[in-house]
C-alpha cells in the first residue's frame, strides 16, 4: 500500500525494520510501509526492484527484498544526486564566472553614455511626474525651457564622465537636462603625473587579462579590511604609517586615505570596486595626452563604435558644451594636478564655453571628504547663479496671487 508523503526524507520504516543512513536496526513495533511517489518518476526504478527482488539475503522474505531494494536504490540515488550536484555546481560556477566577467566589462565610456544618462532620465521622469500631479497641462521642453533646473557637482572620475555625457548627448542631438557643471578636480588629462602612477599603470596592464576588476572578493576579506581600517583609527602610530605608505603609492598626495576606507560603505556586505578597463582607459588618456573615449584596440572595433578608426577626442568637441562650467583644482592634489585642470580650462575657453577656474589648498580627496567651509561657500555661490526655470517662476507667481486673493 502506498502512503503519499509531503517531505523528501529517507525511507523511514519498512515492516518491522528501521532504516537509517549507514545502519540497519530491528524493532518489534509494527510500522506502516512508507513509499515516496517521486521514486516512480525515474524510469530505472522498476528495473532496480526486479533486480534486487531475486537476490539472496537472510531474514523474512519481505524484509530481505526491501532491505536489498533500499540499499541498492539508495546507492544509485546518491550517485545520481552527486552527479547532478556536481553538474549543477559546474554550470553555476561557469555562469557566475561569465556574469562576473560581464559585470566588470566597462570603461569610462559606460559611465558617460549609459550610467549617467539612466540616472538623469530617471530624475527627469520623477520631477516631471511630480510637477504634472499639480499642473496637468505641463509639457516637457528642452534643456533651457524645462520646468526645473538640474546642476551637476562632480569630482575626479565623475567629472570626466559628466563631460563625456554632455558631449555625446549633444552629438546625438538629445537633451542633457543640465543647467550648470561644477567640476572638482576632474579627470580627463593625465600626462602630468609622477613615476609612481606609471608603475601602477603597468601593474594594472599586467593584471587586466587575469582579473576583471579591482575589488575585495569575499565577505571574509571585506570584513578583514574593515577590521584593519578600525585598527588604523584605534592605533594612530600604525594608521600614520599606513597613511604615509598609501600617500607615496599615489604620488605623495596628502589626502586622508585611512579615513576614507573607514566610511560606512566600506563593510563586509558591500565595498567599492573598479574595473581594470577604467584603469586601462585612464592609461590610454595618459599615453595619448588627450581626453578621449575608450580605444578598443583595432580599427574595425573603433569603426563599429565611433564610425572612425580612432576613438573620439572629447577635447575637440568642447564647443558643444552649452552650459556654464566651474572648474576647481587642488593645489596639493598629486592625483590630478592643477596643470591638468587648467588644460580643461584652456580648451574650453578656446571653444567659447562659459567657464571659470578656481584653486584651493586641497589634496585630491579633500574636495569630498573634508567638507571645508570655504569650498561649500564657493559651490553654493556658483549654484546661486543658476536662474530658476521661467515656467516655475510663472507657476509660483500664479500660486502667490491665488493665496493673496484667498482663492
User: Residue 289: left (phi > 0), alpha (psi -120 to 50), or beta?
Assistant: left
Q: Tell me the β-bridge partners of 327.
A: 183, 357
- Predicted confidence at residue 66, as pLDDT, reads 53
For residue 44, the enclosing domain spans: 13-101
In a domain, 363, yes or no: yes
- Predicted confidence at residue 11, as pLDDT, reads 40
Least confident of 97-101, 143-147, 304-308, 318-322: 97-101
- Predicted confidence at residue 380, as pLDDT, reads 92
78 and 113 assigned to the same domain: no
Task: Please name the residue that has the C-alpha cell 493673496.
Answer: 404
Query: Percent of the chain, pLDDT > 90?
Result: 30
Residue range 54-64, pLDDT digits in tens: 655 555 555 55
Report CA 350 to chain centroid distance, whole Å.
36
Q: Which of 7-16, 192-201, 345-354 has the highest mean pLDDT?
A: 345-354
139 and 168 assigned to the same domain: yes
Q: How confident is the model at residue 93 (pLDDT cuts 50, 70, 90)?
A: very low
303 and 387 assigned to the same domain: yes
36 and 64 assigned to the same domain: yes
168 and 284 assigned to the same domain: yes
In a domain, 73, yes or no: yes
Residue range 309-326, pLDDT digits in tens: 999 999 999 999 999 999
In a domain, 249, yes or no: no
Mean pLDDT throughout 265-283?
A: 80
> Which of 101, 120, 144 is the endpoint of a domain?
101
> Which of 101, 120, 147 is the endpoint of a domain?
101
Task: Give the chain's domain count.
Answer: 2
Long-range contact set of residues 277-280: C-beta below 8 Å, sequence gap at least 24: 277/104, 277/105, 277/106, 277/107, 277/208, 278/106, 278/107, 278/108, 278/157, 279/201, 279/204, 279/208, 279/214, 280/107, 280/204, 280/205, 280/208
pLDDT higher than 70, residue 280: yes
Long-range contact set of residues 127-136: C-beta below 8 Å, sequence gap at least 24: 135/395
User: Residue 185: left (phi > 0), alpha (psi -120 to 50), or beta?
Assistant: left
Residue range 99-129, pLDDT digits in tens: 556 778 888 999 999 999 999 999 998 988 8
Higher pLDDT, 122 or 83: 122
- Predicted confidence at residue 5, as pLDDT, reads 39
- Predicted confidence at residue 303, as pLDDT, reads 92
In a domain, 216, yes or no: no
**What's the CATH number where 297 sits?**
3.40.50.1820
59 and 139 assigned to the same domain: no
Mean pLDDT throughout 17-45?
A: 53
Q: Tell me the β-bridge partners of 213.
A: 275
289's CB contacts (< 8 A; 6+ apart) are 189, 191
Contact 68, 55 (CB under 8 A): yes
Residue range 190-202, pLDDT digits in tens: 888 777 777 777 7
- Predicted confidence at residue 373, as pLDDT, reads 85
Q: Which of 73-77, 371-375, 402-406 has the highest mean pLDDT?
A: 371-375
69 and 161 assigned to the same domain: no
pLDDT higher than 60, residue 227: yes
47 and 174 assigned to the same domain: no
Amino acid at each position: 500500500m502506498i502512503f503519499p508523503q509531503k517531505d523528501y526524507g529517507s525511507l523511514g520504516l519498512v515492516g518491522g525494520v528501521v532504516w537509517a543512513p549507514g545502519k540497519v536496526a530491528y524493532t518489534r513495533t509494527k510500522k506502516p510501509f512508507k513509499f515516496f511517489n517521486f521514486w516512480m518518476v525515474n524510469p530505472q526504478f522498476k528495473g532496480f526492484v526486479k533486480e534486487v527482488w531475486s537476490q539472496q539475503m537472510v531474514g523474512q522474505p519481505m524484509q530481505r527484498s526491501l532491505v536489498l531494494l533500499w540499499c541498492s536504490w539508495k546507492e544509485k540515488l546518491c550517485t545520481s544526486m552527486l552527479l547532478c550536484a556536481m553538474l549543477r555546481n559546474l554550470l553555476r560556477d561557469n555562469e557566475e564566472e561569465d556574469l562576473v566577467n560581464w559585470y566588470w566589462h566597462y570603461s569610462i565610456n559606460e559611465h558617460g553614455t549609459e550610467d549617467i544618462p539612466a540616472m538623469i532620465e530617471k530624475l527627469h521622469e520623477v520631477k516631471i511626474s511630480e510637477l504634472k500631479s499639480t499642473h496637468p497641462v505641463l509639457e516637457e521642453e528642452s534643456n533651457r525651457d524645462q520646468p526645473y533646473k538640474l546642476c551637476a557637482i562632480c569630482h575626479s572620475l565623475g567629472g570626466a564622465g559628466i563631460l563625456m555625457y554632455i558631449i555625446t548627448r549633444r552629438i546625438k542631438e538629445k537633451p542633457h537636462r543640465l543647467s550648470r557643471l561644477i567640476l572638482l578636480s576632474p579627470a580627463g588629462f593625465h600626462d602630468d603625473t609622477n613615476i609612481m602612477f606609471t608603475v601602477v599603470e603597468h601593474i594594472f596592464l599586467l593584471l587586466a587579462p587575469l582579473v576583471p576588476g579591482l575589488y575585495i572578493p569575499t565577505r571574509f576579506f571585506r570584513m578583514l579590511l574593515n577590521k584593519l581600517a578600525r585598527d588604523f583609527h584605534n592605533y594612530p602610530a600604525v594608521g600614520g604609517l599606513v597613511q604615509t605608505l598609501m600617500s607615496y603609492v599615489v604620488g605623495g598626495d596628502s589626502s586622508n586615505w585611512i579615513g576614507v576606507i573607514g566610511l560606512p560603505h566600506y563593510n563586509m556586505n558591500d565595498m567599492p570596486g573598479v574595473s581594470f578597463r577604467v584603469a586601462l582607459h585612464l592609461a590610454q588618456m595618459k599615453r595619448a595626452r588627450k581626453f578621449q573615449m575608450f580605444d578598443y584596440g583595432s580599427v574595425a572595433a573603433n569603426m563599429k563604435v565611433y564610425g572612425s578608426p580612432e576613438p573620439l577626442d572629447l577635447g575637440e568637441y568642447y564647443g558643444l558644451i552649452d552650459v556654464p562650467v566651474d572648474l576647481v583644482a587642488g593645489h596639493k592634489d598629486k592625483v590630478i594636478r592643477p596643470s591638468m585642470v587648467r588644460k580643461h580650462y584652456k580648451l574650453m575657453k578656446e571653444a567659447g564655453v562659459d567657464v571659470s577656474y578656481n584653486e584651493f589648498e586641497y589634496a585630491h580627496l579633500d574636495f569630498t571628504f573634508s567638507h571645508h567651509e570655504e569650498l561649500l561657500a564657493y559651490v553654493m555661490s556658483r549654484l546661486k547663479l543658476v536662474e530658476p526655470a521661467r515656467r516655475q517662476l510663472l507657476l509660483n507667481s500664479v500660486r502667490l496671487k491665488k493665496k493673496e486673493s484667498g482663492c
